[in-house]
Amino acid sequence: MEGAGAAAPTITAAATGRRPVVLYPSPGMGHLVSMIELGKILGARGLAVIIVVIDPPYNTGATGPFLAGVSAANPSISFHRLPKVELLPPAVRTKHHEALTFEVIRVSNPHLRDFLAAASPAVLIVDFFCSIALGVARELGVPGYFFFTSGAEVLAFFLYLPVLHARTTANFKDMGEELVHVPGVPPFPATHAILPLMERDDAAYDGFLDASPELCRSHGVIVNTFRQLERRAVEAVVAGRCTPPELPTPPVHCIGPLIKSEEVLGNGGEECLAWLDAQPKASVVFLCFGSIGRFSAEQIREVAAGLEASGQRFLWVVRAPPSDDPAKKFDRPPEPDLGALLPEGFLARTEGRGLVVKSWAPQRDVLAHAAVGGFVTHCGWNSVLEAVMAGVPMVAWPLYAEQRMNRVFLEKEMQLAVAVEGYDGERELVAAEEVAAKVRWLMESDGGRVLRERTLAAMRQAHDALREGGESEAALAALVDQWRRA
């Protein structure tokens, strides 16, 4: 989002005469992008869409030009920026940016109330982190929905969280490898629960626990998945097996996979695609770890050594290591110094079969390129869906948020990934030998070939779900018809 004093995008409601649909994403880029894609498909179906934007409690860089570009290309979408709020230190007791996000949304509620009262929307669709806004919607008589940007298995976990909370007083982090059981979901070790939930005395835990019942009280949960991908979890949620007994089961609408409709090339994006054009089909491993995924300098060197030893072609997005300054933990990182970070002579020795790019690549377009045969990913849900839509098998290397849970689901339930070992150890360092072994396995082994075939089958199911009359398309069409009548 814009820093202090930067210009906000022009705010204009679509002049259609119909009551708008208001979307309210949390300020993380992954959540904002997903909500914008939802806005695009709603706009394409004739709805007027207003996306409410708030500034995050940390500096992620300006998004004004990005939002202005979205408005220019999509006349049915406009943006409304809520006034900036200040969090007085110490605002919350936390180690996690998610708690700060919950808090900035809470203190923004009066501004949201003023806006909704004036806009008189047909519905309000909120991000999970904006759950507290549903109280405002109820007060104003506006139907409130969630847009859940993770998968159905994570949704099942969140619905069930109050039940897990009531069963024990232990922290997830103290439960070690004890298995957590959630209906419709493969058991996973407590160490792989969502990172901000590891300690009960952290404000982030309170935020998630308070948000879970709001899912049940909403008019419905719109999930960025498709039933074939997560059938067991969807069936468990719909049947009410994940809902605490004292709460209603919310209607669930699977409308995905919803991924970026296009990439805005820049910062070397053309170079990536041109380089891929010169590579053999399905020969390149793509390594990219999300908008805030960052490794230590030591881990970067291990990855480099592993890629070199693997002998495979690779395209690798390298970001600068995280700052040692806690105040800058979530700020946009500087450009990485590849000369200082990579082993001496690495770029020269891998020239021709490897390309290292700084900070960013057009991930959607890279995954869709015929030359890409594997994806080493942090297991962020947007990235998972982009890989599924492109039919690219994954090596799972989770870093933050719900990604460790996604890794278990991808490997054990969907069987679309193989996981690296070592990321959850004491030092959280994946060795070069492990990187080389998993990359070679994915690209050369019979097991890797089977994984690829399963991923291509999931790709076909995804495209079937989105075609006219497919399960996801029909679910969305029914919702739009309902809102048009509002």
Pairing of strands 188-189, 284-288: unpaired
pLDDT (average), residues 81-110: 85
CA distance 365 to 372: 10
Contact by Cβ (8 Å): 411, 323: no
Of 56, 29, 403, the closest CA to residue 195 belongs to 403
255/456 Cα distance (integer angstroms): 20
* Burial category of 179 from C-beta neighbours within 10 Å (exposed 0-12, middle 13-18, buried 19 and up): exposed
pLDDT band at 71 (very low <50, low <70, confident <90, very high): confident
| CA separation for the pair 104, 343 (Å, rounded) | 41
pLDDT confidence of residue 131: 97
Residue count of the chain: 486
- pTM value? 0.93
Nearest to 302 by CA among 330, 321, 328, 284: 321
Evaluate whether 141 touches 122 at the Cβ level (below 8 Å): no
pLDDT at 281 over 50: yes
Confidence check: pLDDT of 144 > 80: yes
Is 14's pLDDT higher than 50? Answer: no
Confidence of residue 5 (pLDDT cuts 50, 70, 90): very low
DSSP letters for 165-220: HHH----GGGSTTPEE--TTS--EEGGGS-GGGS-TTSHHHHHHHHHHHHHHHSSE
Q: Are 381 and 301 in contact, with CB atoms under 8 Å apart?
A: no
* In the chain, domain spans: 21-261+468-484, 269-463
The model's pLDDT over 334-345, given as tens digits with 9 standing for 90+, comes to 899 999 999 999
Query: For the segment 189-241, what is each residue's pLDDT rounded down to a tens digit?
Result: 999 999 999 999 999 999 999 999 999 999 999 999 999 999 999 999 999 99
Q: Packing angle between helix 381-390 and helix 446-466, nearest 10 degrees?
A: 90
In 3D space, the residue among 24, 8, 13 whose CA is nearest the CA of residue 126 turns out to be 24
pLDDT exceeding 70 applies to what percent of the chain?
91
Distance CA 268, CA 484 (A): 42
- The yes-or-no verdict on residue 253 having pLDDT over 90 is yes
CATH superfamily of 269-463: Glycogen Phosphorylase B; (3.40.50.2000)
89 pLDDT band (50/70/90 cuts)? low
At residue 445, the pLDDT reads 98
CA dist 369 → 256, 278, 364, 407, 458 (Å): 21, 11, 9, 24, 17
Of 23, 253, 16, 19, nearest in space to 126 by CA: 23
The mean predicted confidence, pLDDT, of the chain is 91
| H-run or E-run covering 125 | strand 123-126
pLDDT at 333: 77
Rounded mean pLDDT, 142-150: 97
- Confidence at residue 330, expressed as pLDDT on a 0 to 100 scale: 60
Q: Give the angle 55-61-65 at the CA atoms, nearest 5°.
A: 85
Q: Which two tokens stand for residue 306?
A: 């592993």
Give the pLDDT of residue 2.
32
**Domain 21-261+468-484 CATH (choose: 3.10.350.10, 3.40.47.10, 3.40.50.2000, 3.40.640.10):** 3.40.50.2000
Instruction: Give me the pLDDT at residue 291, please.
Output: 79
Give the pLDDT score at 15. 41
- Rounded to the nearest 5°, which phi and psi values hold at 478? -65, -40
Lowest mean pLDDT segment, chosen from 49-63, 311-325, 470-484 = 49-63
Give the count of beta carbons closer than 10 Å to the beta carbon of residue 101.
25
Do the domains 21-261+468-484 and 269-463 sit in the same CATH topology, yes or no?
yes
Check whether 29 has a pLDDT greater than 80.
Answer: no
Strands 77-81 and 313-318: unpaired
As a whole number, mean pLDDT of residues 257-281 equals 86
